[in-house]
Amino acid sequence: MSALTEIYVDNVTRHLPEDARPDIAAEITATIDDMVDARLGEGTDPTPDRTAAIEREVLEELGDPAVLSREYSNSPQHFIGPNSYPLFVWALRWVLPLVGLLAVLTNVVTTIALSPEAQIGEIIGKTAGNTVIALLTAFAAITIIIGLGDRGMDGGAAEAMRKRQSGTWTVDDLDRRDSHGKQIRAEAGLGLVFIVAFAMAPFIPTSLFYVGHLNGGETFINPDLGFGWLLGYWGFLALLAAVEIVKFTTASARPIVVLIGGIADVAMAVFLTVALLTQPVLHPELTNTPNADVQQIITVIAVWAIVIWDQVSTWRTYRREHHS
Amino acid sequence: MDEDTDKALATHEQELRRGTVVFASLVACRRPQYGYSLLTTLTEAGVPTEANTLYPLLRRLEKQGLLTAVWNTEQARPRKYYTLTDSGAEVAAALHSHWLELDSSITQLWKDGTP
């Protein structure tokens, strides 16, 4: 065996299991010698140069030793293979939202608990930063665990997904849940979150938004606003919340529910318009500027913009459900 | 054929050949074969195979119990001879049946589709 062949064989076998190396090395060496002999032909006395040239030719035909080594090792050349990929996607789809939600809740609660005078910007900043880190960590952990499982168990990390593999799949495995219903339920849930936030608005102190210095940390709402206006405001919100709860529990947007929701929406916008245009609804010290009237009008425009957007969105949901 | 068609043909030929090489190796190893002799046997039979594909394949077939390997050190150059095992012979026979069925099916399909 020439030095060149020896180096080539060493390159092939160096990353293979130690117990298999001598056998593979002997076989490749014999093959290379056979191939060289076959090309040199019988009955001739080859020159060393010709032998060396043919040897090079044979080695180049065998190709990159790293590739040959990979063929021998027969180990997966990927981190997450096709068998584990469905499990990987499933884990990301379920674990990441859960981690994100937990990270947001934990950070909001701990920031408020540890900093009694926490500003909203501080809460958002800390929560966003820590949530991103939590999501990246979860992503890395899922990837590493499933990747190692894919290796250690020869693709067996997907054992749990076996029922999803062809051959064992039956029509009973079909996901029969109504995707429209899920979407309506998700939108209703989000709507409820916004309604609760709006309901709490009259109690939110300005200090939470870095403008506490303007009115000594009081609320955004005029403290002299008649309680009847607040009752009306909460009454409308309660009606809207009831509509969203019906949508959430039935997972559908029935015409009567959509109609009640639409009417309540517009009625509340009228109520807020009257309230904003007939008295100072916002705290006087926040609107104690020459442009106070303009601010009220901008607020009214914003209210109607939200209502119109909500009406269009509700109508689209209704049409989608009744055309599917 | 344009360049894209050539590429597509090369890909499909490779897919077709991949399974064929396994079957052809099992058939050829009904007689003891060492690596290089198998390589030339397959090439002469019209199933050209690259050495860097064949040797790892033989090892895998040996691990699967379809081939058995014995080193022959009586010759000037030690050689590893591969022979079909009983289970290898069963697999080869089954593959042969499938092959004939496929051949018949494809021939029929071709006839049916010919205008």
User: Do both A110 and A183 map to the same domain?
Assistant: no
Q: If you write DSSP's letter for every residue of B5-47 in order, what string do you get?
A: HHHHHHHHHHHHHHHHHHHHHHHHTTS-EEHHHHHHHHHHTT-
Report how many domains make up chain A. Answer: 3
With a pLDDT cut of 90, the percent of chain B lying above it is: 69
Tell me, what's the pLDDT at A299? Answer: 84
Tell me, what's the pLDDT at A178? Answer: 65
Residues with Cβ within 8 Å of residue A6, at least 6 apart in sequence: none
Q: Establish if A303 belongs to a structural domain.
A: yes
pLDDT in tens, A31-84: 899 889 888 876 667 788 888 889 999 999 888 888 888 888 877 778 888 888
Residue A226 has pLDDT above 90, yes or no: no
Question: Which residue in A23, A3, A8, A21 sits closest to A58, CA to CA?
Answer: A8
Give me the mean pLDDT over the A149-172 stretch.
56
Residue B96 has pLDDT above 90, yes or no: yes
Give residue A223's pLDDT band: very low, low, confident or very high (50, 70, 90): confident
Are the beta carbons of B56 and A72 separated by less than 8 Å? yes
Question: Which residue in A262, A263, A275, A272 sits closest to A303, CA to CA?
Answer: A272
User: Do both A147 and A167 map to the same domain?
Assistant: yes
Q: End of a domain among A125, A141, A172?
A: A172
Q: Which residues in chain A have their CB less than 8 angstroms from residue B77's CB?
A: 30, 33-34
pLDDT in tens, B11-48: 888 888 888 999 999 999 999 999 999 999 999 999 98
Give residue A252's pLDDT band: very low, low, confident or very high (50, 70, 90): confident
Q: Residue A173, CB half-sphere, CA atoms under 13 Å: how many?
A: 10
Residue A278 has pLDDT above 80, yes or no: yes
How many A×B Cβ pairs under 8 Å?
49
CA distance A71 to B57: 8
Tell me, what's the pLDDT at A156? Answer: 43
Q: Which residues in chain B have their CB less than 8 angstroms from residue A34's CB?
A: 34-36, 77
Tell me, what's the pLDDT at B86? Answer: 96
Q: Least CA distance to A68: which residue of chain B?
A: B52
Residue A104 has pLDDT above 80, yes or no: yes
What residues make up the domain containing A42? 3-73
Are the beta carbons of B36 and A68 separated by less than 8 Å? no
CA distance A242 to A264: 11
Tell me, what's the pLDDT at A173? Answer: 60
* Region of poorest pLDDT, from A190-204, A307-321, B94-108: A307-321
Residue A157 has pLDDT above 50, yes or no: no
Q: End of a domain among A146, A172, A198?
A: A172
Tell me, what's the pLDDT at A72? Answer: 86
Tell me, what's the pLDDT at A160? Answer: 46
Nearest to A63 among B52, B59, B60 (CB): B52
Q: Which residues in chain A have their CB less than 8 angstroms from residue B60's CB?
A: 74
Give me the mean pLDDT over the A149-177 stretch.
56
Distance from CA of B110 to the nearest CA of A (A): 29
CA distance A265 to A269: 6
Q: Establish if A79 belongs to a structural domain.
A: no
User: Do both A36 and A91 map to the same domain?
Assistant: no
Q: What is the CB neighbour count within 10 angstroms for residue B62? A: 16
Q: Which residues in chain B have their CB less than 8 angstroms from residue A27's CB?
A: 35, 55, 80
User: Do both A91 and A210 map to the same domain?
Assistant: no
Tell me, what's the pLDDT at A155? Answer: 43
Q: Which residues in chain B have their CB less than 8 angstroms from residue A63's CB?
A: 50, 52
Tell me, what's the pLDDT at A44? Answer: 65
* Region of poorest pLDDT, from A234-243, A315-324, B54-63: A315-324
Distance from CA of B29 to the nearest CA of A (A): 17
CB A32 within 8 A of CB A8: yes
Q: Least CA distance to A63: which residue of chain B?
A: B52
Distance from CA of B114 to the nearest CA of A (A): 34
Tell me, what's the pLDDT at A290? Answer: 65
Tell me, what's the pLDDT at B37? Answer: 93
Are the beta carbons of A31 and B36 separated by less than 8 Å? yes
Distance from CA of A72 to the nearest CA of B (A): 5
Distance from CA of A24 to the nearest CA of B (A): 9
Say yes or no: B18 contacts chain A, CB-CB below 8 A. Answer: no
User: Do both A211 and A260 map to the same domain?
Assistant: yes
CATH fold for domain B3-113:
Arc Repressor Mutant, subunit A (1.10.10)
Question: Which residue in the block uniquely carries the two structure tokens 């020439």?
Answer: A2
* Better-predicted residue by pLDDT, A275 or A46: A275
Q: Establish if A164 belongs to a structural domain.
A: yes
Q: Average model confidence (pLDDT) for chain A? A: 82
User: Do both A42 and A62 map to the same domain?
Assistant: yes
Q: If you write DSSP's letter for every residue of A240-253 in order, what string do you get?
A: HHHHHHHHHHHTS-
Residue A166 has pLDDT above 60, yes or no: no
Say yes or no: B77 contacts chain A, CB-CB below 8 A. Answer: yes
Q: What is the CB neighbour count within 10 angstroms for residue B9? A: 11
Give residue A129's pLDDT band: very low, low, confident or very high (50, 70, 90): very high
User: Do both A106 and A132 map to the same domain?
Assistant: yes
pLDDT in tens, B47-79: 988 888 899 999 999 999 999 999 988 887 889
As given in the structure block, the two tokens for residue A280 are 């100072």
